[in-house]
Chain A
Amino acid sequence: MNQDNERPDLDIADPQVSLAYRSMTEVSTPAKLDAAVLDEARVAASRNRPAFSIGGWLRPAAFVATVGLSLAVLLEFRETEVFDSVPQIATEPDDRYRPAAGGADRAEAREDDAAQAFGQLPAKESAISDPKTPLAESAPAPGQQDKSADSSMLPDQPLDQPSPAAKRVPDNTAYDSAIRQTGRSLPQTAAVSALHADAARHCGDEQTRSADTWWQCIEALREADRAEAARQEFELFIAAFPDFRPAQ
C-alpha cells in the first residue's frame, strides 16, 4: 500500500474485513470533478508563472554569495601579513657584550706608544752603521712608518737579510722595528716571551735587572749581528717591562 505499512498491524487489522471492504463497489471520481481540478491546477500554474521569478534565483544567488564571501575572506588572509605584529628579531649586536668603552683602544694606544717610543730611541751611530744590521735594514722610512701596533700587517722580513738602506734608518725606529720583526703585537710578543722563559739567556742577570741595562744588552746583541738572540731577549724584555719607554 505504501511505505507506512512496514509493520502491518496484524493484531488489529482483519483480513476478512479488508477483503470485505475491498469488495465494495469500486467508486471512481466523476469526470467533471477531474476536469475541474485539473483545470484549476493549470490555471494556477499559468497565472503564477512570472517571466522573471525572484524566488527562483534566491538559492543560486545565496550560493554565489557564499562562495564569493569565502574567497574574499581567504584572499584577505593571504594578503595580510600575519606576522606584521611580531617584533623583529634583533640583528644588531647586543651592546651588553661590547667591550668597555676605550678598553681595546687603551691597549692599542699602549702598543702604539711603545712602538713609537721604541722608534724614538736615540740610536747609536756605531751600532747601526753596519749596513747589514737586520733591524735597521727592515726599518721603514720615517714617513712610511706604520703607527699601528699590529705588526702582522707589515712584511715579515727575515732578520738575517741585509737591507741596503740600513745606514739611513734612524735609531728611533729600532724599537719599533724590533716589534715588527717579532711578527706580533706587543701582547702577543709578551705571550711568546713566556715560552722562551726557560731558553738560554743572552743577557746576564745584572743586565736584566733594569730596563735600561737590559735594553742596552739587546742593542749590543743587535750590533753584534746576533739577531735571533736579540729577538729572544727583546721578547722577554717586553714581558718584563711592557711600559718601557726608551729614553730619547
Chain B
Amino acid sequence: MTAALLQLLPANEPLPRAATLPYSGVMDATPEDSALMLRYKDGDTAAFEVLYRRHNGPLYRYLLRLSLNRATAEDLFQEVWSKIIRSRHSYRATAKFSTFLYRVAHNCFIDHVRRNKRHASNIPLDPDNAASPSDEPDVTAEKALARRRLIAALTALPDEQRDVFLLHEEAGLSLDIIAQVTGVSRETAKSRLRYAVKKLKAAIIESAPETEAAN
C-alpha cells in the first residue's frame, strides 16, 4: 500500500499545495478575505483581484470535479463570481468569505443539475487529465493508472458524497461549515464524507496490487 501511494506522488517534487493539506495551518486569513471584499464593496478592484487569485483555483477544481465537465465547470465558475460581484453591496462580514463563496457555488451547481438533468451523460472519465512533462514514461503510466482509478472512484460517488468530499478536501471546510453550505445536518454531512472516503480508499487499495503487478 505504501508503495502504491509513493507511486502516486511525483518524484523529487514538493508536495503540491502544501498549504492546502487538511491538517495544515490556515491558508487564508478569513478576516483578510472579508476585508478585501469590503474594500471591493467600496470600489477597490485591486482588493477583489487579490481575493480572486486566492480562491479561483480551489473553486475551479471544486466545480470541475463536482460537475465532471470542463465546460460546465467554466460556466458555473463565471456564474459564481458574477453573483459574488453583484452581491458586493449587500455583503456583510457575518460569516467567512469561503463559506459564502462555496455556498454560492454549491447552489449554482444544484441549479445547474435541476436545469440539465442529463449532465451525467457528459461526464468525461478524466476531465483534468494532463500529464506533467517532467514525468518519466513508466511513471506516467503508473501515475495515470492510479489517477484514473481515483478519478473513477470519485466520479462514481453520488453527487452528495462527492460534493462533501470536495468541500472538505478542496475548500478545506469543516463538517459544520459543510453542513451549512449543503443545507444538511452535521451528522448527514459526516456520514456522506465517511462513505466517500471509504470508497476512495478502497479504490486506492485496489490499484496497489495492479501497480505492483505491473512492476
| CB–CB A13/B30 < 8 A | no
Q: How many Å lie between the Cα of A19 and that of B8 in the bound state?
A: 9
Nearest neighbor of A11 in chain B, beta-carbon distance: B194
Bitwise interface map of A from 21 to 49 toward B, beta carbon under 8 Å scored 1, else 0: 11111111110011011101110110011
Residue from B20, B85, B146, B193 in contact with A1 in the complex, judged by beta carbons closer than 8 Å: B20
Binds A, one of B104-112, B113-121, B167-175: B167-175
Q: How many Å lie between the Cα of A13 and that of B26 in the bound state?
A: 17
A20 on interface, CB distance cutoff 8 Å: yes
B9 on interface, CB distance cutoff 8 Å: yes
| CB–CB A23/B16 < 8 A | yes
Listed in ascending order, the chain A residues whose CB lies under 8 Å from chain B are 1-9, 12-30, 33-34, 36-38, 40-42, 44-45, 48-49, 55
B204 on interface, CB distance cutoff 8 Å: yes
B209 on interface, CB distance cutoff 8 Å: no
| CB–CB B130/A27 < 8 A | yes
A12 — which chain B residues lie within 8 A by C-beta? 175, 190, 193-194, 197
- Given A2-B172, A13-B168, A38-B49, answer yes or no on A18-B22 (Cβ-Cβ < 8 Å): yes
A18 — which chain B residues lie within 8 A by C-beta? 21-22, 169
Bitwise interface map of B from 143 to 158 toward A, beta carbon under 8 Å scored 1, else 0: 1001100110010000
B173 — which chain A residues lie within 8 A by C-beta? 2, 4
- Given A13-B197, A14-B197, A23-B10, answer yes or no on A4-B96 (Cβ-Cβ < 8 Å): yes
B172 — which chain A residues lie within 8 A by C-beta? 1-2, 4-5
| CB–CB B26/A41 < 8 A | no
A17 — which chain B residues lie within 8 A by C-beta? 197, 200-201, 204
Most B CB within 10 A of own CB, among A14, A20, A22, A36: A20
Q: How many Å lie between the Cα of A34 and that of B57 in the bound state?
A: 10
The 5 closest A-B pairs by CB, nearest first: A1-B172, A4-B174, A27-B128, A23-B8, A29-B60
- Given A2-B27, A24-B151, A40-B85, answer yes or no on A29-B21 (Cβ-Cβ < 8 Å): no
A9 — which chain B residues lie within 8 A by C-beta? 168, 174-175, 190, 193
Residue from B60, B168, B176 in contact with A27 in the complex, judged by beta carbons closer than 8 Å: B60
Most B CB within 10 A of own CB, among A2, A19, A22, A45: A2
Residue from A1, A13, A14, A30 in contact with B74 in the complex, judged by beta carbons closer than 8 Å: A30
B82 on interface, CB distance cutoff 8 Å: yes
B57 — which chain A residues lie within 8 A by C-beta? 27-29
B contacts with A: majority SS: helix
- Given A4-B96, A20-B204, answer yes or no on A25-B132 (Cβ-Cβ < 8 Å): yes
| CB–CB B174/A5 < 8 A | yes
Bitwise interface map of B from 164 to 204 toward A, beta carbon under 8 Å scored 1, else 0: 00001101111111000000000000100110010011001
B28 on interface, CB distance cutoff 8 Å: yes
CB distance from B24 to the nearest CB of A (A): 6
A38 — which chain B residues lie within 8 A by C-beta? 45, 48-49, 52
CB distance from B189 to the nearest CB of A (A): 10
Q: How many Å lie between the Cα of A34 and that of B129 in the bound state?
A: 21
B64 — which chain A residues lie within 8 A by C-beta? 27
A44 — which chain B residues lie within 8 A by C-beta? 85-86, 88
Nearest neighbor of B191 in chain A, beta-carbon distance: A12
| CB–CB B52/A41 < 8 A | yes
Bitwise interface map of B from 33 to 53 toward A, beta carbon under 8 Å scored 1, else 0: 000000010011100110010
CB distance from A46 to the nearest CB of B (A): 8
B122 on interface, CB distance cutoff 8 Å: no
Nearest neighbor of A30 in chain B, beta-carbon distance: B74
Bitwise interface map of B from 66 to 96 toward A, beta carbon under 8 Å scored 1, else 0: 0000000010011001100110110000001
Interface pairs (9), CB distance under 8 Å: A2-B171, A3-B96, A14-B201, A17-B200, A20-B200, A23-B147, A25-B131, A33-B78, A41-B85
